[in-house]
Amino acid sequence: MTSARSSDPSSSPTAELAFLLAQVGAHAAARFAERLAPLKLLPPHAGILRAVGQSDGLSQAALSERLGMFPSRLVVLLDALEERGLLERRSTPEDRRSYALHLTRAGKEMVQQIGRVAEEHKEALCAALDGAEQAQLAALLRRIADEQALTAGVHPGYRKLGRGRPADPDG
């Protein structure tokens, strides 16, 4: 005889999987934002610096496309990073209306700091898992991300960023 609980499909070990993914994802995003705060960066700033660091000379249009972000929203974020001396925009010889993005020395140092913050963040989030479990979880999440057609290395929240000014990281 089966109990009412065991015959209830919501009691299966995977019933709450989507909720757990959302819960851990929201928690991870909030904690990462908190960890970036001492650097006076918001997560979109960190993502932009990382993307430019990986593709020096990337155009604003290409970055907007890669991140799935409104160009008008990207400009506001780029302005803030440029004002802080973390990146610079250079007009391209082919089209002076187009700008190539380059990290400054300070921007490259900031990308290294972001990397350290990200590593500490991963260690804190995954403290309950050993190395093999972390590798297995990463592989499984990559499969899910691929199946959902998520762009590798790009937070899907970029696509939802509005056109207004970003929140002030100083609070």
- Structural domain contains residue 125: yes
What would the pLDDT profile of 94-150 be if each residue is shown by its tens digit?
877 789 999 999 999 999 999 999 999 999 999 999 999 999 999 999 999 999 888
Q: What are the respective helix, strand and coil percentages of the chain, to the nearest 5?
A: 60, 5, 30
- Structural domain contains residue 52: yes
- CA 62 to chain CA mean position, Å: 17
**CATH code (residue 94):** 1.10.10.10
- Structural domain contains residue 7: no
Q: At what angle do helices 71-83 and 43-54 cross, to 10 degrees?
A: 90
- Structural domain contains residue 2: no
**Structural domains of the chain, count:** 1
Range of the domain at 134: 18-160
Structure tokens at 168: 């002030």
What would the pLDDT profile of 35-59 be if each residue is shown by its tens digit?
999 999 999 999 999 999 999 999 9
- Structural domain contains residue 61: yes
- Structural domain contains residue 118: yes
